[in-house]
Amino acid sequence: MTYLDTHAVAALYQGDLSPFSAVALRVIDEEEDLRISPMVLLELEYLREIKRIKVPARRIVDSLAAEIGLKSAMPLSPTSPARRSRSVGPATPSIVSSWRRLACMPPAW
């Protein structure tokens, strides 16, 4: 079982393989159980809400499920964040700032 992060999912959806090493591409190609955590869905929806991506998280995940067999670690319920409309709250800038300080996000974000 291999978990993909938000950046990997977005790149794969766009068909951009440049962020991946040869080893990572081999693992993605050979792994039979590729998964994402529910946080990836949430992060993709945040990116859509702040207009960094145009495609809903669910469409991205469904597309990759059909193409590479991607699975969510937990099934989506009708009330999960990736299924309902919500707005970015006041804590979001501080979360993004913390991620940048921890070098978890590229500066382009």
DSSP calls for 74-94: SPPPTTSTTTS-----TTHHH
Examine residue 96 and state whether it is found in any structural domain, yes or no.
no
pLDDT at 72: 87
pLDDT in tens, 58-88: 999 999 999 999 998 776 554 444 444 444 5
Residue from 68, 50, 51 nearest 9 by CA = 68
Flag whether 107 is in a domain: no
Per the structure, the count of domains in the chain is: 1
CA 21: distance to chain centroid? 18
Residue 16's domain comprises 2-84
The answer to whether position 30 is within a domain reads yes
Q: Record the tokens describing residue 89, joined without a space.
A: 């709250």
Q: Is residue 106 part of a domain?
A: no
In a domain, 93, yes or no: no
Of residues 91 and 31, more confidence is placed in 31
**Do residues 28 and 20 make contact, with C-beta atoms less than 8 angstroms apart?**
yes
- Which pTM value belongs to this model? 0.68
